[in-house]
Structure 1
Amino acid sequence: MDSQNKTIVVTGATTGIGRATAEMLARARVDVIGVGRSAELCRQVEASLGGRYPNARVHYLTADLSQQSEVRRLAREIGACLAADGKTALDGLVNNAGTFAYWFSQTPDGVETQWAVNHLAGFLLTQELLPVLRAAPSARVVNVSSDSHYSGRIQWDDPQLRRRYNGLSAYGNTKLANILFALELNRRLGNDSNVHAYAVDPGLVKTDIGMKGTPALAGWVWKVRRMGGTSIEVPARCIVYLLTEPSVQHSTELYWKNCQPKRASRRALDEESAARLWTLSENLCGLTER
């Protein structure tokens, strides 16, 4: 894919995998719209990348993706960014923002926090941006999942684990949802669509996701475990590959790691579960009222 004059949105783009992805794209002269929670971090990263890669437009927007009103506002601001740059199409979306919650908590929308950030935010943002994604000659949606999805098992009578919450189980379930969402999106769009979705396994990466808001022992375990992880550039390279490589536009391979297809779990490839998750997600986002 010709990188010049392309625009790609990356959520969770101020640190970790998201920032590395944004930097690789800017280096390839792709215009980047990064998303983060901290206004100060967004300003810093925008200035840094914009200064180092003057051949790419770099915009950073702030949003709390745990709140659906913020996701909808973000989609409108992305549209305004495109218009300001004289563009009517979006060439890619990376649903990378994620969180881990050891204890049960819920957002102002009444949704369990991991479920809201790790799955529903990407689901809703993709729906809101579909018109501009469809306007591109070829557009990609990349969901950052995890090998934690192999242990995931969505309990349809209690998908947010309200009755018996376990942070690790909830995390694995949301990573399973990332793949199911990509599977169902591709089915609904059809084989000939110019928009195609993928899910990425970043592997064990040296990030702080397992150290935020956790008990001291759990944080220590994550700190030791991540020592054996790869650098953030490794999964970022796979994400950029899926965003820009022409040969994968109509690939039937859904789940990727290190720029190679990988077999997802049986539950992640279950079409009935994917359709059921889509309906559940629409209900939780109020999309069925449209």
Structure 2
Amino acid sequence: MDQRVCIVTGGTRGLGWAAVQMLAEQGHTVIAASRHPEAAQPAIDALVHRGVSGAVQAMPLDLGSAASVRSFAAECQSRFGRLDVLINNAGVITRNRERTQDGHERQFGVNHLGHFLLTRELMPMLAERADPRVVIVSSAMHRAGEIAWDDLNLEHGYGMIRAYAQSKLANVMFAVELARRAPALSVNALHPGGVTTGILREAPLMRALAWPFSKRPATAARAVIRLATDPTLAGVSGRYFEGMKETRPAPAARDAASAGRLWGISEALTELPRQKSSVSKAPAAVSTPGDANTAIAAAGS
């Protein structure tokens, strides 16, 4: 692919950092978004020393703060003026119920709402590109998820796994609905496989059970980079992958009415103007980039 501008959330460690390195090695300009971007500078300097052909910049982003998300999007517009690839990778899992700066249950707020708002804020830049892509890192745990419509913040009956599974189901529902509403955009969700990163530090038992079967970040990142850059996947949208293999997500993730309902709730919770969809209710399967790029701008308005 030609040189592209790419954003990776959670891009300064683990799977995100592995993806950043691979994109830089391919010659792309990469923004590594993180709550603590300064921590990545030594590693970025090491990449430069290695002579990678791409450029990497670390920028601050707190997905638990709508103000931070909007500030980040505005700064990206000011600095780069264009965006080709958005990899929504960052995620949290918390043993105890916590709230984001905006008052949402932390896992739902960061893993879903933060990325929902970020994607919508970046739509105008994506709309200008010939082959714009959004990759949403979810989890096979979405299959155990259920959207608590009357208690999204899980104020009653919070459980670490319950909250994580809900947020990961929301990720896949968002990918399917976004693909339907913005047919010029290639948007897919994936479970990269169990990864040996620090996300499970709040869940030591899960970490101990999963560790023997987990992949190294560099191995898992290959599936992410494939969705982000493989020319043969241009126009493939609204799909769910586990590693390199496309598979069917949970039935709840394929329910068009529920996905539309979640979209509307997410707009309200992030204080976005409600977007009326005029497209068919059938979930997107394959769409081709082209003149329909205006649909992406409409989805972000």
Q: 2:228 matched to 1:243?
A: yes
Q: Which residue of 2 aligns with 1:181?
A: 174
Displacement, 1:266? Answer: 0.6
Q: Which residue of 2 aligns with 1:79?
A: 77
The runs of 5 or more residues in structure 1 that have no matched partner are 83-87
Q: 2:205 matched to 1:205?
A: no
Displacement, 1:223? Answer: 3.1
Deviations 1:61-120 (A, max 9, x none): 0122211111111111111220xxxxx321100000110011111122111111111011
- 1:165-180 matches, within 5 Å, as 165-180=158-173
Q: 2:116 matched to 1:126?
A: no
Q: What TM-score, normalized to structure 1?
A: 0.90
Q: Which residue of 1 aligns with 2:8?
A: 10
Are the equivalent residues in 2 in contact too, given 1:63–1:71 (CA < 8 A)?
Answer: yes
**Aligned equivalent of 1:41, options 39, 42, 55:** 39
Deviations 1:215-265 (A, max 9, x none): xxx424413421321111222101111111122222256101222212211
Distance in structure 2 (CA, Å) of the matches to 1:51 and 1:67 = 34
Displacement, 1:55? Answer: 1.8
Are the equivalent residues in 2 in contact too, given 1:92–1:139 (CA < 8 A)?
Answer: yes
Q: Which residue of 1 aligns with 2:257?
A: 272
Equivalent AA in structure 1 for residue 169 of structure 2: L
Equivalent AA in structure 1 for residue 240 of structure 2: Y
Are the equivalent residues in 1 in contact too, given 2:140–2:242 (CA < 8 A)?
Answer: no
Distance in structure 2 (CA, Å) of the matches to 1:252 and 1:197 = 5
Q: Which residue of 1 aligns with 2:186?
A: 196
Are the equivalent residues in 2 in contact too, given 1:42–1:61 (CA < 8 A)?
Answer: no
Displacement, 1:7? Answer: 0.8
Distance in structure 1 (CA, Å) of the matches to 2:16 and 2:73 = 18
Q: 2:105 matched to 1:112?
A: yes
**Aligned equivalent of 2:140, options 133, 144, 147:** 147
Q: Which residue of 2 aligns with 1:161?
A: 154
Distance in structure 1 (CA, Å) of the matches to 2:46 and 2:122 = 27
Displacement, 1:43? Answer: 1.9
Q: Which residue of 1 aligns with 2:58?
A: 60
Distance in structure 2 (CA, Å) of the matches to 1:123 and 1:92 = 15
Displacement, 1:129? Answer: 0.5
SS of 1:288's partner is coil
Identity %: 36
What is the CA RMSD across the aligned residues, in angstroms?
1.6
Distance in structure 2 (CA, Å) of the matches to 1:251 and 1:107 = 34
Are the equivalent residues in 1 in contact too, given 2:100–2:109 (CA < 8 A)?
Answer: yes
Are the equivalent residues in 2 in contact too, given 1:100–1:171 (CA < 8 A)?
Answer: yes
Provide runs of 4+ in structure 1 moved above 3 Å.
none
Q: What TM-score, normalized to structure 2?
A: 0.87
SS of 1:149's partner is helix
Equivalent AA in structure 1 for residue 90 of structure 2: A
The runs of 5 or more residues in structure 2 that have no matched partner are 275-300
Are the equivalent residues in 2 in contact too, given 1:235–1:257 (CA < 8 A)?
Answer: no
Deviations 1:139-159 (A, max 9, x none): 100000000000001021112
Distance in structure 2 (CA, Å) of the matches to 1:189 and 1:53 = 37
